Structure formats: C-alpha cells, structure tokens
Amino acid sequence: MSTKSFEGIRACVFDAYGTLFDVHSAVGRHADRLPDASAVSLLWRTKQLEYTWLRSLMDRYVDFWQITQDALDFALDTYRAADAALKDDLMQAYLELSCYPEVPAVLNEIKDRGFRCTVLSNGSPRMLGSAVKNSGLQDVFDAVISIDAIGIYKPDPRVYQMAVDQLGVSPSEIAFQSSNAWDAAGAGAFGFKVAWINRFGQQPERLGTVADAELKDLTALPGLLPDS
C-alpha cells in the first residue's frame, strides 16, 4: 500500500476492542474454569457485537457494559457454564484486557512524530478508562471518545463525526484503524482514510467500501503516515 493514500493525515483514531485490546484475554485468564474457553469467548464477542447493532436498530440503548454482561450471560448459558462467581470474574477481567504486544511502541512512535492520537469506541467511559490505564497508555491519547455520549453504536455515521468534532479536522485528515471489517467499512463510508488491522486473516466485508490499507497488526502503520 502506497503512503500516498495517507497523505494529509493529521490525526490517528483507533478502535479499542480487537484493535488495541485483546478481547479474548478476559476468558484466557479463566480458561481452566470453562468447558470450551475459546468457543465461549468467540460467542461472547459475537453476541456483544450483535447486541450493539440490534439495540441501535431497535432504538433501545443500553451502555456497552450492560451489553457485555448480556452477551456473556448468553454465552455461559449456551455452554451450560452459568456461575455467578465466574461471571463476576470474567467481567472484571474485561476491565483489565491486555493490549496487543506492538501497541505501546507504535502509539508512542506516532505520538512522538506529532500526530494526535484518539480512541473512538463503543465502550463505556469506565471500561475504556480502565483498559487504557491497565495498559499504561494514559499519556498517549489526546482523547478517549465513547459513543455513550450520543447513545448509538458504530457504524452509525454520527459516531465517526464525534472524532471529527473532537479533533477539529476534516474526515480526510483522519487515519482510522480498526480490526473489525464492518467498522473499517463504516469509517471508510464516512470519509476517513482507513487501515484495516486484519489480525486473524478474515475475509473483507461486502459493504461497498475498500480499506486504504490492510495490515496484519499495527506495526506497519507508522510507515504509512506522512512526515509530520
């Protein structure tokens, strides 16, 4: 991917879950207490995303913490692993998700080069604050933006507008990074330059947009950005 596609970028905006933070690390801490930990974790994540879309369509907003609990209940019931203590421990672990190994160095390099760095996430403010602090990233971000302020989930265009309003730049001056193909599509449709962080070799969504770059992780992102 040529760096020309990222010319004019002034700010980098990052999705949180799956992009910066490993959503499966919560179950990983308690894998020995589950009948099929990887399947539980995958279903938990799948239902979590589905509930954001469905609640947005139904106009029945609850915050991401509630959605995460509801999705976990569904996953634990499905695998007959419902247990109050286990649920509490898994939810606590979700507040302390591990970031991916390359994240701190990449973010610090981008910050040192003069680019503004912001999180734009479905997560509730408490969840995001805890994850950022747990990974020692408090000093990297100019802002951590939660959709909770407007009560609608990605990929609604109003969510991406929040980053534009916060940063005071045009959509074409923002590089948006997400591991979620549907989120990358939504951001591209809005007008951001998009790097899809395809950590797990997924197929692209058929949503009429194509990411400006597809990366295996965030390591190559600084090389795409122009000289500041």
CA dihedral 226, 209, 186, 160 (to 10 degrees): 40
* Nearest partner of 50 among 154, 176, 188, judged by Cα: 154
Catalytic residues: 15
Helices (H) and strands (E) in the chain, counts: 9, 6
Domain ranges of the chain: 3-22+98-224, 25-94
Query: Which amino acid appears at position 89 of this protein?
Result: D
Q: How far apart are CA 26 and CA 153, in angstroms?
A: 22
Contact (Cβ atoms closer than 8 angstroms) between residue 16 and residue 146: no
pLDDT band at 1 (very low <50, low <70, confident <90, very high): very low
Helix axes 181-190, 157-167, angle to 10 degrees: 60
Averaged pLDDT, 132-139: 95
Contact (Cβ atoms closer than 8 angstroms) between residue 110 and residue 225: yes
Q: Is the pLDDT of residue 158 over 90?
A: yes
Model pTM score: 0.95
Domain 25-94 indexed as CATH 3.30.200.20: no
Q: What is the pLDDT of residue 3?
A: 46
pLDDT band at 134 (very low <50, low <70, confident <90, very high): very high
Tokens of 174: 């923002």
pLDDT band at 4 (very low <50, low <70, confident <90, very high): low
The string of pLDDT tens digits covering residues 78-100 is 999 989 999 999 999 999 999 99
Q: What is the pLDDT of residue 86?
A: 96
Torsion sign (Cα): 106, 46, 125, 11: positive
- The CATH classification number of 3-22+98-224 equals 3.40.50.1000
* Nearest partner of 186 among 167, 219, 220, 162, judged by Cα: 162
CA–CA distance from 223 to each of 53, 105, 109 (Å)?
34, 13, 11
Query: Which amino acid appears at position 51 of this protein?
Result: Y
